[in-house]
Amino acid sequence: MKRIILCADDYGQNPAISQAIIALLEKKRLSATSCLTTSADWLEQARNLESFKNQADIGLHFNLTEETPLAEPVSRLILKSHLRLLNKKAIIAECHAQLDLFLQGTGRLPDFIDGHQHVHQFPVIRDALFTVYEERLRDNQTYVRCTYNPNSLLRFQAVGYTKQLIIQLCGAREFKRQLLARQIPHNHSFSGIYDFENAAKYAEFFPQFVQQVQEGGLIMCHPGLKEATPSTDTIANSRIIEYDYLSTDKFPNVDLIRFKETLK
C-alpha cells in the first residue's frame, strides 16, 4: 500500500471549504490541510482545527493573489516576478503578517508552508520566503511544499499536462535546488494537478495521481461543500466533485501519512 500525504488546500477561504475539510479530517481522508489566513473569518474557522493538530499537518497557504494588500492576478505575478519587479521587503512583511495570523488562530507555527496558486516558488517571492524561513520557521522544522517533478515534462499524455508544464516553468526546478542547498525539509514528489474544467473526471484522475506520485509524496486536493449563496469562487463546482469522491468508498486503498513519517 503506497504511503502518501494528501493535503486539502484553501482551508479558511470560506465556510463551505472549511466544513468539507473538517468532514474529511473526521473521516481520516486527509493527512494535511493548508490554510488561508487572509480571509475575514479565519480566526473563527481556525478554532475547528484544534482537535486535528496531532492527526494532520496544518500549514500556511501563503497568499499573494486574493484578499491581501499585495494581491495581484497570478498571471501578473508570474510576469513581474520573472522581471524582478516585485518588492521583496513588502513580501517579507506580508509573509510575517500571515504567519502572525496563523499563530493567532492556531496558537503555534505551521507544520509546513506553501503558496496559493504556487506563488511561493516564483522568483523574488521565494527569496522572501527563505528570509522568513530562517527568521521564524527553521527552528520549528517547518517543511515546505515543492512542486518539482523532473519527469513531468515528458509525460505528454498526463492529466493536466499544460498546467503542470506552466508550474514547472515558473520556478519549480530552481526552488527545489535552493531547498536542497539550504537543507530545508520538503516533499520529494508532488501530484494532484488537473484542469478544473475537467473535474467531472476526477474519479478517473485521482488513481492516476496516486500512481504518479512517489512513495511518501504529496497530493494536493481542493474539496468543498455546496455554498448556501452564489459563490465568487471560480472552482466551486470542482470542489464539490472532489469532496464527493474523497468522502465515499471510491477512495483508493492508500496509507495517509504526515510528513514526519516520510523521514522514517
For 74-131, write each residue's pLDDT tens digit: 999 999 999 999 999 999 999 999 999 999 999 999 999 999 999 999 999 999 999 9
Looking at residue 227, its pLDDT comes to 83
| Cβ atoms < 10 Å from Cβ of 211 | 10
Phi then psi for 248, rounded to 5 degrees? -110, 180
Q: Could you give the C-alpha distances from 238 to 17, 111, 116, 235, 243, in angstroms and in order?
A: 11, 27, 17, 5, 9
Amino acid letter for position 43: L
Average pLDDT of every residue of the chain: 94
Q: What is the pLDDT of residue 98?
A: 98
Q: What is the pLDDT of residue 150?
A: 80
The DSSP call for residue 18 is: H
Q: Extract the runs of DSSP E, i.e. beta strands, from the chain.
A: 3-11, 32-35, 57-62, 112-115, 143-144, 190-191, 218-221, 255-256
CA distance 138 to 110: 11
As for how many domains the chain has, the answer is 1
- Cα–Cα nearest to 112, from 7, 224, 2, 27: 7
The three grid cell numbers given for residue 187, joined into one nine-digit string: 516533499
Burial class (CB in 10 A: 0-12, 13-18, 19+), 60: buried
> Beta-strand (E) ranges in 23-151?
32-35, 57-62, 112-115, 143-144
The pTM score is 0.95
Q: What is the pLDDT of residue 157?
A: 61
Environment class of residue 97 by beta-carbon count within 10 Å: exposed (0-12), middle (13-18) or buried (19+)? Answer: middle
Q: Could you list the residue range(s) of the whole structural domain that residue 36 is in?
A: 3-262
Residues of the chain scoring pLDDT < 70: 152-160, 228-230
Residue 191: which CATH number?
A: 3.20.20.370
- φ, ψ for residue 33 (rounded to 5)? -145, 145
